[in-house]
Amino acid sequence: MSRIDLHTHTTFSDGSCSPTELVELASHKGLDILAITDHDTTDGLSEALLACKDLPLELIPGIELSAQYHNREMHILGYFINLTNSQFQDRLDALRSTRIERLHQILDRLHALGMDISLEDIEQTSKIGTIGRPHIAQVLIAKGYVKSMKDAFEQLLGSRGKAYIPRVVPEAHEIIDWITDAGGIPVLAHPYWEGYNKEESTTVCQTLVEQGLQGLEVFYGTFSARHISFNLGLAKQFDLLMTGGSDFHGALKPDIALGKGRGSLHVPSKVVERLRVAAGY
């Protein structure tokens, strides 16, 4: 039986392990197949591929992109993307620029609240890759402005926080096209369907499928059996691929274990076989 984790983050976005450390940890934990799905970037994958070279571990290239759907944010995973697709990489560059603009706006808000935190401080916590709010939170904790990541989000950075700036992200159908245009498989990440009832969830899923969505992350690090069975039903109803992963972030989400999530994650091997066939590998 293969051990599989198809949703993980490295220091190239908001994880605490470098790609090499993550690959070594995966191998140490006996994983057979690992996908790295950093936010807005595929730049960590070449290091990870190199680190896998002499290990019995298969690396699947992935990414996680934020999208909006009727003013709600959702995350879409892309697997088996052609990493050298220049149009895709240009689109990612543009996304990262909007993240930096937002970062400046958040810093302005924090300054107005009397907090002494600079772009350089944040760049030191995220030397490479995509800068996100967790990096700002780390600096706020280090400087004693808040006690924990939870406080940082509740008081300042989260949607009800004093320094919150909403992020403008592309529409779901655009993100689905970006991934498909680069030869990848678009999969809806962690479908909790928060704020939607059963019928609404089904309608949203149907619309996304009509827009080109090909899979659902049925198995997820923090899903209950009820969530899994609901998403399994949707995957069957719309003939979707299934994927699964922990959403491992290392020390930044210490309750989530690689390959295990909160303990009960199990991703069946057939999931990867079907994903591979769909991607033409």
Q: Which two tokens stand for residue 207?
A: 């619309």
Secondary structure letter of residue 168 according to DSSP: P
- In the set 3, 75, 91, 135, which binds Zn ion (CB under 5 A)? 75
Whichever of 43 and 64 has its CB closer to Zn ion, that residue is: 64
Q: Least CB distance from residue 276 to Zn ion, whole Å?
A: 21
Q: Least CB distance from residue 68 to Zn ion, whole Å?
A: 14
Q: Which of residues 49-68 bind Zn ion (CB under 5 A)?
A: 64
Whichever of 47 and 64 has its CB closer to Zn ion, that residue is: 64
Q: Least CB distance from residue 9 to Zn ion, whole Å?
A: 6
Q: Does 3 bind Zn ion (CB under 5 A)?
A: no
Judged by CB under 5 A, the stretch of 69-77, 85-93, 194-202, 211-219 that binds Zn ion is 69-77
Give the integer Cα–Cα distance in Å for 204 and 196: 9
Contacts with 247 (C-beta within 8 Å, 6 or more apart), sequence order: 7, 8, 9, 189, 190, 220, 221, 222, 253, 256, 261
**In Å, what is the CA distance from 178 to each residue of 6, 91, 171, 174, 254?**
20, 8, 11, 6, 32
**188 close to 76: Cβ distance less than 8 angstroms:** yes
Whichever of 63 and 110 has its CB closer to Zn ion, that residue is: 63
Judged by CB under 5 A, the stretch of 74-82, 113-121, 161-169, 269-277 that binds Zn ion is 74-82
Whichever of 110 and 241 has its CB closer to Zn ion, that residue is: 241
CA 257 to chain CA centroid, Å, is 15
Comparing every residue's Cβ against Zn ion, the nearest one is 75
Q: Least CB distance from residue 117 to Zn ion, whole Å?
A: 25
Cross-strand bridge partners of residue 217 = 243
Q: Which of residues 159-198 bind Zn ion (CB under 5 A)?
A: 189
**In Å, what is the CA distance from 12 to each residue of 39, 102, 120, 230?**
8, 18, 17, 32
Give the integer Cα–Cα distance in Å for 137 and 207: 35
- In the set 48, 92, 247, 271, which binds Zn ion (CB under 5 A)? 247
Give the integer Cα–Cα distance in Å for 279 and 281: 6
Judged by CB under 5 A, the stretch of 16-24, 155-163, 208-216, 247-255 that binds Zn ion is 247-255
HSE-CB at 279 with a 13 A cutoff on CA atoms is 24
Rg of the chain in Å (alpha carbons): 18
Binding flags for Zn ion, 115-154, as an x/- string (CB under 5 A) = ----------------------------------------
- Residues near Zn ion, by CB under 5 A: 64, 75, 189, 247
